[in-house]
Amino acid sequence: MRFKDKVVIITGGDKGIGKSTALAFAVEGAYCVLGYFQDRNAAQETAQLIRESKNAVELVRVDVRLKKECERLVERAVSTFGRLDIAVNNAGVSTMNLAVDLTEEEWDFNMDVNAKGVFFCCQAQVRQFMKQGKGGKIVNVASVVAKRPAQFFSHYAASKSAVLGFSKCLALEVAQQRIYVNCVCPGLVRTSMQEREIGWEAGLMEISEEQVRRNYISSVPLGRLEEPVDVAKVILFLASEDSDYMTGQAINVAGGMEMAL
């Protein structure tokens, strides 16, 4: 098992990409610390699935917009399991609107969770890795829309572009300490977030939700919507020793929607 006895933090670990990632780590022997915000029931369900695989798990409610809570998440991981080895910063939000109609609240909501949340989490994680002196792995979940335009997503794209730029600079700064920082850039992933977006887009474009789904699928060269486990597999690769000569990278996991680096 690649991650036997490794300690992993996963924000947004209660559902979607975070849930699939947590379960995949658990199957490979990791101790999981799941950060969640609102849906405790979903977090408990994910934790129970991990326990069924005979692995330890800790649940921590965290608002990644608050620096102290991000620091507390790392502190809980260390106090519970003794150290931190890997961090997956996956917590994210979205809304949809034309750029000219965006409210300040929409802009701030996306930037605060998606960009500032990654900054606060990475800062706390890197400090712990430096304290331990044995390196570590960070995987930040960005998005393919940080690389290609998408209608109604200017604010979301800005927040995820910030994740890419920040991650690359951080990777450069901490490389000598053997702290690896990489990103995954998912595409159209079948999650509860996507279901909300389909409804919003249908309303904005005045078409049916089924037509939105067909449009999504037709935009993917591989011809299907992405599953959370598709992203989880690449996250685990970036968290493993197999990626030890990679840092500052942003890997597309989008079914061919974006083929540039």
Please choose, from the candidates 164, 169, 170, the residue with its C-alpha nearest in 3D space to the C-alpha of residue 145. 164
Question: Dihedral through CA 203, CA 216, CA 231, CA 124, nearest 10?
Answer: -30
Catalytic entry in 31, 156, 180, 216: 156
What integer pLDDT is reported at residue 20 of this predicted model? 98
Architecture of the 7-189+227-253 domain: 3-Layer(aba) Sandwich (3.40)
Half-sphere exposure of 114 (CA within 13 A, CB side): 25
What integer pLDDT is reported at residue 260 of this predicted model? 79
What integer pLDDT is reported at residue 55 of this predicted model? 86
231-249 pLDDT tens trace: 999 999 999 999 999 999 9
Ranges of residues in the chain whose predicted pLDDT is under 50: none
**Helix, strand or coil for residue 77?**
helix
Is 36 assigned a catalytic role? no
pTM recorded for the entire structure: 0.97
What integer pLDDT is reported at residue 94 of this predicted model? 97
